[in-house]
Amino acid sequence: MTRLRYGPEPTAEDSTRVADVCVIGSGASGAITAWALQRAGLDVVVVEQGPFVDPWVSYDDIETNAETAWIRQDSGLWEKTGNPWSTCNVGGGTVFFGGAAFRHRPVDFDSETRLGHGDLPLRWPWTVAEIEPYYALVESALGIAGGGHDPSLPSDPVYPMPPVETTAEGAVISAAARSLGLHPFPTPLAITTTAYQGRPPCGGERPCISNQCDRGAKGDAVTVFLDPARKAGLRLFAGLKAVRIRRRDATTVDGVECIRMDSGNRHVLRARHVVVAGNAVQSAALLLRSTDKQSPHGLGNDHDMVGRGLCFKMSGYVLGYRRADPPATPPDYRPAGPGPFSSAAITDYYTADDAPGGFGGLIIESGPEQAVRMRPDEQILRLECLVPDQPSLDNRVSLGRGVDQFGLPDVVMDYSPHPRDHARLEYLQRRAEGILRAAGCELTWRESSYFWMGSTHLHGTCRAGTDPRTSVTDPDGRVHGLTNLMVVDGGVMPYPGGVNPTLTIQALALRMAHRLLRREFGIEPDLSYSPVGTERNERSQ
């Protein structure tokens, strides 16, 4: 088993110090939130359950050490094999993700225009115009490489770098798609293609999708946000599991109770504001564990909405085998897999009148996670299909009757996709098969993503909205009924959309952090990114 590196525990001084903000979680949303608040001069402390990731630590190592959750199998039986994490480590899933950085489409902001009304509101409480400047800031910070025309967006973003070099497989996929009248374009990736903000260009030596980038070319949360903020004074404690948020009075909270994962020691970190950024599953579980006399069913759960509307986003792979003519590479066997995992994307089926409910989804090239040796005249083409799943009251995160080694209740993820969502995935995979046939693939087959076991695409359990009866937070992320408790991760999204969510989660979190700065501290935030030098003042010392 890989030895986990947590770093030091909080000291007695850390326990008595009252920070301006305590951020729970250091992944996509937590890191950018902590960076923005610390940059504005606040005293910020970050609590992260997982370890620091060293270059030799793999995705499988982290997943092996992470806690599992109860999920329902097709047979109706329950098994504790679900994955309630993207990954549990400093930087979260961004350390191991492939870097796909899509904006959500305008239709995602109000999907009721196509799907109609369900048992939960689908309309987002933010407009495209409100989020656009935050998209641009995050794209600049991460260093997005991209270009071309995306037919599902009203206008194409201006990215700071040109797209990654098209793979041999991506070139074949794009040509086949164009032959069908489709409009493929380079997959926007948080991967440097030129020197950028002190980061070197990608060398393409390792598979992005399952490894930390030891060059710093990938725009993960550690490289872009946490490391600069820590150098400027941000306090981050790894190996601390937030087990309960403490209430101060009827409308405020005052800190977080934590357990050190290796020693079992208990710590309390106090703060004037608490920001929850665990992920849609972990944040809901934390709120549900935070019971007291005034909230016997958990904080923010007066209307039994915490944990409701769980979405994983449905997905699946379609693969094809073809003989390359002429050979894809010079003689001798060639490896496929290292480097950026995707160089071609297709959004022509994102909305389609012949798709179930009028929605299709995203098709992207998805290279293998491990290098595969191929003959020079052979190619394996691999496409991933992503479709949004409709939120349901019955799909939810709850707490089980079993307990872990610390006596904390198990996490339960009760999830069953709508039949129309199954039909939508089938629709999109058939279109992907058509692209592979147009590419000359002699054989095609499908691979499961096992999305129902948990996912890196976690949404909906702390939904943002204006009505406390159908949401957990207001549009600024504040938990209804509490003035200084926020949720800023993918749980606030009322509808998941059909693209990779990291960019949008970070844009929403940054907007909420900026609203907090203006509302509570009277600070006008900076709408630019700098990887070095943050503005500290003496107010929080």
Q: Is the dihedral of CA 249, 250, 254, 256 positive or negative?
A: positive
* Angle (nearest 5°) at CA 20 between 19 and 24: 75
Residues β-bridged to residue 459: 311
Angle between helices 168-179 and 419-438 (to 10 degrees): 100
Listing DSSP states for 384-416 in one string gives EEEEPPPP-TTSEEEEEEEE-TTSPEEEEEE--
Q: Which two tokens stand for residue 184?
A: 């493929």
Dist CA 238 CA 5 (whole Å) = 8
- Ramachandran assignment for 490, one of left (phi > 0), alpha (psi -120 to 50 degrees), beta (any other): alpha
Residues 6+ positions from 246 with CB-CB distance below 8 Å: 253, 254, 255, 256, 257, 268, 290
Listing DSSP states for 45-105 in one string gives EEEESSPBPPTT--HHHHHHHS--EEEE-TTS-EEEEEB--S--STTGGGGTS--B-PPPP
Contact 150, 185 (CB under 8 A): yes
How many other CB atoms are found less than 10 A from the CB of residue 69?
A: 23
| Alpha helices by DSSP H, 77-182 | 106-109, 112-115, 128-142, 168-179
Listing DSSP states for 190-257 in one string gives SB-SS-BTTBPPP---SBGGGS--TTS-B--HIIIIIHHHHHTT-EEEETEEEEEEEE-SSS-EEEEE
Closest CA to 279 of 537, 533, 84, 67: 84
How many other CB atoms are found less than 10 A from the CB of residue 409?
A: 15
Buried-state track 279-289, b at ≥16 Cβ within 10 A, e below 16: bbbbbbbbbbb
Which of 104, 267, 273, 457 is an active site residue?
Answer: 457
Q: Is 457 a known active-site residue?
A: yes
The C-alpha torsion from 63 through 69 and 75 to 76, rounded to 10°, is: -170
Closest CA to 489 of 451, 465, 463: 463
Dist CA 188 CA 184 (whole Å) = 12
| Residue with tokens 């909305």, as numbered in its chain | 351
The C-alpha torsion from 351 through 355 and 358 to 359, rounded to 10°, is: -50
Dist CA 134 CA 509 (whole Å) = 9
Amino acid in the structure at residue 50: G
How many other CB atoms are found less than 10 A from the CB of residue 262?
A: 10
Q: Is the dihedral of CA 334, 336, 337, 343 positive or negative?
A: positive
The residues annotated as belonging to the active site are 457
